[in-house]
Amino acid sequence: MRKTCLKMLVLGIATLAASSAGAAERVVVGSTNFPEQLILANIYTDVLQANGVEVKQRLNLGSREIVFPALKSGEIDVLPEYTGALLSYLTDGKSKAHMQDEVIKELKAALPDNLVMLEPASAQDKDALVVTKETADKYDLNTVSDLKGVASKLIVGGPPEMKTRYVGLPGLKEVYGVDFKEFRSLDAGGPLTTGALGNGDIDVARMFTTQGIINSKGWVVLEDDKEMVPAQNLIPVVRKKVLNDTVRAALNKVSANLTTAELQKMNRSVSVDKTSPKDVARSWVKEHGLAM
């Protein structure tokens, strides 16, 4: 009897250890609603599947205000995130952390108990204000501070959440004293915003520093000279319920290989060359030997 019980106990421990080290039954990878997120979510999917994890995708769901609660509630399990932006969201813009290490430290403490952030990539993608070369020359714009005297004449466009997020209009007013003539609700650096900037419907666009279209169009990124936008390293955020050794190792390999220059290149492939995010992701994964 004792031998049988002991055998069952050993088998139970072995099964638990194998479950911890093995693949989750199924992981749901989600994303917000702009091309870079679709690229990253497909990278996560390909690498997880290459390591034997069954993956379901729920992509292009909307802004962080929609998607992060879905992660917290368990509707999705894995989400590509940005350290500074997520910290600002979780602290209602109250965190003053800017440097990479302090942002990561505060973010770990601010995350809900059922979520874990894995290793950060060196890659960063920051919110940025972008103008055409003609607008930059006309108003002598090089930095965000340069907007202070002329913003009342300019129309700014960006995602709806720019109106309320601290790193959007509220922060621009508080940190830089910038009030625009008008705000137009468009998208997160997507075709609505880039099209509006290109055809002159807006004068200033809220975009992302890794967007390949900026260089291809000769547009100007205004320097965030007062460092309003904190460090924005790419990180996988995962629900504890699905996190095991396999999932952790797979996603950490993505972070270890992902650079800002590669993000810019991949974004250009999607937004300028019109390659699908899925194909761009698959090429990157193969190039880095993360899948067969």
Length of the chain: 292
**Contact (Cβ atoms closer than 8 angstroms) between residue 271 and residue 114:** no
Mean pLDDT of the region 156-170? 93
Transcribe 12-28 into DSSP letters: HHHHHHHHHHS--S-EE
Of 94, 107, 264, 238, give the one whose Cα is nearest residue 167.
Answer: 94
Q: How far apart are CA 249 and CA 81, in angstroms?
A: 17
Domain ranges of the chain: 2-124+231-287, 127-221
- Does residue 200 surpass a pLDDT of 70? yes
Least confident of 39-43, 181-185, 258-262: 258-262
Transcribe 100-164 into DSSP letters: HHHHHHHHHHHS-TTEEE-PPPS-B--EEEEE-HHHHHHHT-SBSGGGTTTGGG-EEEE-GGGGT
Q: How far apart are CA 161 and CA 179, in angstroms?
A: 16
**Contact (Cβ atoms closer than 8 angstroms) between residue 125 and residue 153:** no
Residue 205 is encoded by which pair of tokens? Answer: 């666009």
Residue 288 is encoded by which pair of tokens? Answer: 């880095």
Of 186, 178, 100, give the one whose Cα is nearest residue 143.
Answer: 178
Same fold? 2-124+231-287, 127-221:
yes
Which SS3 state, helix, strand or coil, does residue 51 take?
coil
Q: Given pLDDT bands bounded at 50, 70 and 90, which one contains residue 94?
A: confident
Q: What angle do CA 149, 145, 133 make, to 5 degrees?
A: 85
> Residue type for 175, please?
V
**Contact (Cβ atoms closer than 8 angstroms) between residue 258 and residue 122:** yes
Q: Given pLDDT bands bounded at 50, 70 and 90, which one contains residue 165?
A: confident
CATH number of 2-124+231-287: 3.40.190.10
Q: Given pLDDT bands bounded at 50, 70 and 90, which one contains residue 185?
A: very high
Q: Kindly report, residue by residue over 115-139, the tens digit of the pLDDT.
A: 999 999 999 999 999 999 999 999 9
Q: How far apart are CA 136 and CA 140, in angstroms?
A: 5
Percent of the chain with pLDDT over 90: 80
Q: Kindly report, residue by residue over 2-39, the tens digit of the pLDDT.
A: 444 444 443 344 334 434 444 457 999 999 998 999 99
Burial bucket for residue 159 (CB in 10 Å: 0-12, 13-18, 19+): buried
Q: How far apart are CA 187 and CA 266, in angstroms?
A: 19
CATH class of 127-221: alpha beta
Q: For residue 98, what is the DSSP state?
A: -
Number of helices (H), then strands (E), belonging to the chain: the values are 12, 10
- Does residue 54 surpass a pLDDT of 90? yes
Tell me the whole-structure pTM to 2 decimals: 0.79
- Does residue 90 surpass a pLDDT of 50? yes
Question: Within a 13 Å sphere around the CA of 80, how many CA atoms are in the beta-carbon half?
Answer: 30
Q: Given pLDDT bands bounded at 50, 70 and 90, which one contains residue 215?
A: confident
Residue 59 CB: number of other CB atoms within 10 A?
18
